[in-house]
Structure 1
Amino acid sequence: MRGATASVDGAAASTRHVAVEYSSDAEWAGHLAEFVRAGLAAGEQVRYFADATDPGLVTRTLTRSGVDAASALRGGQLVVITADETYLTGSRFDPDAMIGLWREAVDGAAAQGFQGLRAIGEMSWGARDLAGAERLLEYELRIHHEVFEQLPLTAWCFYDRRLLAPDELAVLARAHLTRSGAAVRDGEPGLAVAPLAGPPGFRLSGSAGYESRRVTASAAAALAASPAEHLTLDLSALDHLDVAALADLARAVRRRPYDTPVRLLNAPPALHRMLELFPELGDGFQEVSR
């Protein structure tokens, strides 16, 4: 197995971080058994981070699905723990701490002789009034480049439609480059943000206005926290960006530890007009086209 510092192809990384949506216990059980069975067969360590689900139900469901969960638990190949022991260590959610935990987990699996690590994380805690839960979107945006492009890890983020508001779920799911079980919705969120599959950066699509202020704030936080020196913001699918949203992004650029400008790819005409009116907001950006 490659070490934790190994580089992983960006396109391949996009298929290893998956948003999995479901609406019933039967759907949940099907996704669970498929994922765990594949990991055990490949000699990988499989970890399940439970939140709304009792950990005992996870192992009982696997057993009913024909998976020898008891043996996998005894051998350390299957580990079932809770969100409080992972995402919410320290009674709050901290994306930086969780990114560090992934690195430790991958190293730990390798040290135990497993061929890799795969994990399922229940994300229902993001809908509760918990300290740091507002940073979940920032985390989902960051980990493509900071985790999956760096580490030999496969993870499915489990999103239960019964526990999350549709608009919130749509925004979080669209932060993944690969989705499974995506529901048919009447309308997508006003602003969607996703990591780029190639160069480090993010793609904004839709409308960045007052209604999407929290999404813009998460995108700005991910932009500021990125360890990549060269970043791109792909605005090809952006319909609208108001001055407040542009100011959020501009402040994020100023917080970055690099003097390298952030590339604005295919900025819409409205943004050009705003930069003419407020040229100070363009500091740290470089407009480019394909």
Structure 2
Amino acid sequence: MAMTSTSAVPAPTAPEPCGHVSVVYSDDREWAGRLVPFVRAGLERGEQVQYFADTTDPDRVMGTLASAGVDAGRAAAEGRLVVTTAARTYLSGPAFDPDAMMGLWHQAMDTALAEGHRGLRAIGEVAWGARDLPGADRLLEYELRLHHEVFEPLPLTAWCFYDRRRMPADRLAVLVGAHLNHLGGPVADPPLRLAPLPGRTGLRLMGSAGYDTRYAMRSAAAVVSRSPGGDVELDLSGLRHLDVSSLAVFAEAARHRDRGGLRLLRPPEPLRRLLGLFPELGAALEIAGP
């Protein structure tokens, strides 16, 4: 991506959020304003910092850091800073694979600690999620699963960089909602928002689920069927509508779990009526809460 001058990099005024963070920016200055403090803080704390570029030339990343006073060359030579590309890492296989990525994050943390770093932090550009790449349709599933499978058990901070210029607004809105922390300007409110549940395996659904939200529903179903451990919970208290086909998707996902079931928390009354009309779907589900 063509970058403009970044000599004046604004410093954040609020404390840096930890864990899994969506970062949305609209221009090159905003990009640099998020990049530089994040990398500088990690190096000062003795963490290894990794940057996975997609549309940005890795040399541009290094140059921006250097122009802001970060000794990026020395940090890279010492293994404290790794700047590479998504194409060489998690997009290097035949298709993007969220299952494989869960294991790779754990391996990356083990390696960083074994090499003497105090932790690991990473930035990943996610513009590739808007392109027709094998597995790109599983990006939302990946973002939703990361919270429980990676960020809760590991001392990891990772920022997902979303460029408004390269991501359709409707797709951006859904993906940003999959993070518990967000930096950058507001995004549109999607018809169906999915967010991980803090402290337990599951999702909160807000809005309406139907034919127009089938991409999000497929991703939510993948979380249900693939998440390890015991029960998966879906908090439906913010759900206004869920059609019978979406309910069938969840029931099928629940039947494919190796162990543990699917618990529906505080489902709206229309959904309860659907379960009464289609008891075969309710057989794989458990209703919890009033």
Q: Aligned to 1:18, what secondary structure does the other structure show? A: strand
Aligned pairs for 1:1-290 (under 5 A) are 15-185=18-188, 188-258=189-259, 260-289=260-289
Contact 1:221 1:252 in 2 (8 A): yes
TM-score, scaled to structure 1: 0.92
SS, match of residue 199 in structure 1: coil
Between 1 and 2, higher relative CO (CA 8 Å, sep ≥ 6) is seen in: 1
| 1:190–1:207 CA contact under 8 A, matched in 2 | yes
Contact kept in structure 1, 2:96 and 2:135, CA below 8 Å: yes
TM-fit CA distance, 1:252: 0.4
- Partner Cα separation in structure 1 for residue 82 and residue 187 of structure 2: 33
Deviations 1:117-164 (A, max 9, x none): 000000001111000000000000001000011112110000000000
How many pairs were matched up?
274
SS at match of 1:155: strand
Q: Under a length normalisation based on structure 2, what TM-score does the superposition of the two structures give? A: 0.92
SS at 1:141's partner residue? helix
Q: Which amino acid aligns with 2:237?
A: S
- AA aligned to 2:271 is L
> Per-residue CA shift, 1:32-76, capped at 9, x if unaligned?
001101100100000000000000000000011111111101111
- Counterpart contact for 2:224–2:262, Cα < 8 Å: no
| CA RMSD across the alignment | 1.2
Measured after TM superposition, the shift of residue 89 of structure 1 is 2.2
Structure 2 gap ranges (5+): 1-16
Paired residue secondary structure (1:172): helix
Instruction: Find the aligned partners of 2:96 and 2:261 in 1 and give their Cα distance.
Output: 30
- Measure the CA separation in 2 of the matches of 1:147 and 1:125: 21
Contact kept in structure 1, 2:169 and 2:187, CA below 8 Å: no
1:7 corresponds to: none
Q: Secondary structure at the match of 2:123?
A: strand
| TM superposition outliers: structure 1 runs of 4+ over 2 Å | 182-185
Q: Look up the SS of the partner of 1:146 in the other structure.
A: helix
Q: How far apart are residue 184 of structure 1 and its match?
A: 4.8
Q: What is the alpha-carbon distance in structure 1 between the residues aligned to residue 193 and residue 229 of structure 2?
A: 21
Q: Is the 8 A contact 1:15 1:177 kept in 2?
A: no
